[in-house]
Structure formats: C-alpha cells, structure tokens
C-alpha cells in the first residue's frame, strides 16, 4: 500500500496527474496493481461518477457507457445501486437520465467500495480467504489487518471532488 499519495486513483479513474515537469521515472501505479486493490465494478462505478461530474452532474446511461467503454447493462446495475444508496437520482423520459444526488465532496472512494462490494471483512485470512481461526497469534493476519485498515481509511478520505480537482482527462 502507498502512503498518503494517491497515484492508484489516477490510474483507475481514467485520468492522469497533471505534469509540472518531466517525470524522472514512470509512475509505478499500473492497471494490474489497481485491479488488485479495487474491483472492476468499483472502477466502473468511479468512472461513471466522474463522467457525470464532467457533464454538469447529469447525463444519459447510454452516453456514459459509450464514453467510458463500460457495458451499458453492467453500468445500469451499478447506477441502480447508487440510486438506492442516495448517491444518484434518476428520471425517466426524454429529458431524463442520471443525476448526482450527493455533493462530489461527499462521495468517497470508500463509500463507493462499500456500496458496490459491501463492508470489508477484516476477519478473513489473507492466505485462504476464510475466517481466520488463529488471528490472535498469527503474525501474517495482524500485519494484513493493519494494512487493510489503513487502505480502507485512505479510500474514505479520497472523494470524487478531490479527483476532479487534481486530474486532467487522458
């Protein structure tokens, strides 16, 4: 996990960090690294919300799907969850579409992960994905849990507004 810097957010969100000077070496946050941290579903959810933010907080599902290259039916399911959780609102008809129901500053990556993936299970074993029976004495478990908690706390501090204010579109 990285420190307080957030290069992984730039990589998965379809943005790049603005360059003030030529970089000395490439950013180590790669697509595969991001995939290990955030699921495709979360990635698509963030891309959809960023698209809405770039389009004055409202747009049509089909347009977002095409622009972000996300399957429309998959994005529809993600947006339905966002509507149920109060992040988005929708309106049917010719002037309909999806609208942001929350302020960009109130939508954290952690909230998106929670909406789409549920609460993180910090009691599972990092080696075999089941409940850890030895968590009181296992060095691997305690180290893993500490890093997972730090990652989850970091994701709760990064908002869609933060990403929009610090990134430029690729």
Local mean pLDDT, 10-residue blocks, the chain (170 residues):
45 51 48 58 95 90 94 96 95 87 94 90 71 75 83 91 77
pLDDT on residue 101: 94
pLDDT on residue 139: 78
pLDDT on residue 60: 93
3-state secondary structure of 161: helix
Listed in sequence order, the residues at least 6 apart from 68 whose beta carbon sits closer than 8 Å to its beta carbon are 14, 44, 47, 48, 51, 75
Closest by CA position to 37, among listed 112, 99, 134: 112
pLDDT on residue 133: 74
DSSP 20-31: SS--SS--S--H
Tokens 């690294």 -> residue: 33
Q: What is the CATH number of domain 7-169?
A: 1.10.10.10
The token duo for 126 is 């990092």
């Amino acid at each position: 996990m990285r420190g307080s810097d957030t290069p992984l957010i730039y990589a998965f969100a379809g943005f790049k960090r603005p360059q003030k000077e030529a970089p000395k070496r490439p950013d180590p946050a790669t697509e595969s690294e991001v995939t290990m941290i955030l699921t495709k579903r979360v990635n698509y959810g963030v891309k959809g919300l960023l698209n809405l933010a770039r389009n004055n907080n409202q747009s049509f599902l089909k347009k977002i799907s095409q622009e972000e290259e996300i399957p429309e039916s998959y994005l529809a399911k993600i947006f339905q969850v966002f509507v149920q959780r109060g992040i988005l609102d929708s309106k049917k008809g010719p002037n309909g579409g999806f609208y942001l129901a929350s302020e960009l500053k109130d939508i954290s990556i952690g909230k998106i992960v929670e909406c789409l993936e549920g609460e993180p299970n910090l009691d599972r074993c990092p080696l075999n994905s089941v409940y850890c029976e030895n968590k009181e004495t296992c060095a691997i478990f305690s180290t893993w849990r500490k890093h997972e908690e730090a990652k989850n706390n970091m994701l709760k501090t990064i908002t869609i507004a933060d990403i929009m204010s610090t990134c430029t579109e690729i």
